[in-house]
């Protein structure tokens, strides 16, 4: 599968799933644009490392996905957008009656509204190029719920709905729009929660992973960032040209329960 000559923009990609997806897209030949809201040397160094490893062009563009105008500016600044991966996301856990309003607003803005703005800016470029792939990183929580995550669940369900709507709008064009719904993925964010949970439950690392974190993931294994990248590359392939408006769960069986 060669994505040579394609430009892929991955929001929220200086760590975790976004970075994993960017690496796999670059390995498949795409020129990738990394993004987050910071502008540190290490952000740009990640792009340089990907370029060196894959021989493709990789750039880092700072843009805050909580702000609609910056979402649109990211796409404009990249200059081309054949593949758009909406991945930026944050989480906050609290009962709905105690949910801080600013956290609610930030989660809805970053996890959902950003996809509206980036898709709106990217679609004219895809139409001009005559080809496009949109991959929205939703979640098992885009299809099911858990308590105390009302904002995240609302945003991820919203992303799944938006994915279907955009797929119908582009159904007769060479553009597809799908969502990947990961279960638990071992990213730095998740790894960082393990020591505290070990203390809280007085459990070993193995028990925290199996009995707390992966309680709802029947495989009892984390999904990996490479698997998210591989699934994204598949959705960009010719084999996936008629796959649009759907969700692909990469969740070890979570949503089969």
Q: Which is nearer to ligand NAD, 132 or 182 (CB)?
A: 182
Asked if residue 170 binds ligand NAD (CB under 6 A), the reply is no
Asked if residue 163 binds ligand NAD (CB under 6 A), the reply is no
Residues whose CB is less than 8 angstroms from the CB of residue 251 and which lie 6 or more positions away in sequence, other chains included: 140, 181, 182, 183, 184, 217, 223
Asked if residue 24 binds ligand NAD (CB under 6 A), the reply is no
Two tokens at 248?
Answer: 């692909």
Asked if residue 214 binds ligand NAD (CB under 6 A), the reply is no
Least distance from C-beta 180 to ligand NAD, angstroms?
A: 8
Asked if residue 33 binds ligand NAD (CB under 6 A), the reply is no
Separation between Cα atoms, residue 165 and residue 81, nearest integer Å: 20
Binding residue for ligand NAD (CB under 6 A) from 51, 68, 77, 90?
90
Q: Which is nearer to ligand NAD, 12 or 158 (CB)?
A: 12
Two tokens at 140?
Answer: 């098992």
Binding residue for ligand NAD (CB under 6 A) from 14, 54, 231, 232?
14
Least distance from C-beta 188 to ligand NAD, angstroms?
A: 5
Binding residue for ligand NAD (CB under 6 A) from 56, 163, 178, 187?
187
Residues in the chain: 257
Which of the ranges 7-15, 95-103, 127-135, 232-240 carries the binding residues for ligand NAD, by CB under 6 A?
Answer: 7-15
Verify whether residue 60 is a known catalytic residue.
Answer: no
Torsion 17-19-24-29 (CA) sign = positive
Edge-to-edge strand order for the sheet containing 7-10? Answer: 58-62, 31-36, 7-10, 83-86, 132-137, 175-182, 247-250
Which of the ranges 47-55, 82-90, 196-204, 240-248 carries the binding residues for ligand NAD, by CB under 6 A?
Answer: 82-90
Q: Which of 10, 16, 13, 15 is nearest to 31 (CA)?
A: 10
Binding residue for ligand NAD (CB under 6 A) from 3, 8, 9, 17?
17
Residues in contact with ligand NAD by the rule CB under 6 A = 12-18, 36-37, 64-66, 87-90, 110-111, 137, 139, 182, 184-185, 187-190
Active site residues: 152
């Amino acid at each position: 599968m060669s994505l040579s000559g394609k430009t892929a923009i991955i929001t929220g990609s200086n760590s975790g799933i976004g970075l994993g997806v960017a690496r796999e897209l670059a390995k498949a030949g795409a020129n990738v644009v990394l993004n987050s809201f910071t502008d540190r040397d290490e952000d740009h160094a990640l792009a340089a490392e990907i370029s060196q490893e894959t021989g493709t062009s990789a750039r880092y563009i700072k843009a805050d996905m909580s702000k609609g105008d910056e979402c649109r500016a990211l796409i404009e600044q990249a200059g081309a957008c054949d593949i758009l991966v909406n991945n930026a996301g944050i989480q906050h856990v609290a009962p709905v009656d105690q949910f801080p309003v600013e956290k609610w607003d930030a989660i809805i803005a970053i996890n959902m509204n950003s996809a509206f703005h980036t898709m709106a800016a990217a679609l004219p470029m895809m139409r001009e190029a005559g080809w496009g792939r949109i991959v929205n990183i939703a979640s098992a929580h885009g299809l099911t719920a858990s308590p105390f995550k009302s904002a995240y669940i609302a945003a991820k369900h919203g992303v799944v709905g938006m994915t279907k709507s955009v797929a119908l709008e582009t159904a007769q064009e060479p553009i597809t729009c799908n969502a990947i719904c990961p279960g638990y993925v071992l990213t730095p964010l998740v790894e960082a929660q393990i020591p505290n949970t070990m203390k809280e439950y007085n459990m070993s690392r193995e028990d925290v992973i199996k009995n707390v974190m992966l309680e709802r993931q029947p495989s009892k294994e984390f999904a990996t960032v490479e698997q998210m990248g591989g699934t994204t590359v598949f959705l960009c392939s010719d084999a996936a040209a008629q796959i649009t408006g759907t969700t692909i769960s990469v969740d070890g069986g979570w949503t089969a329960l």
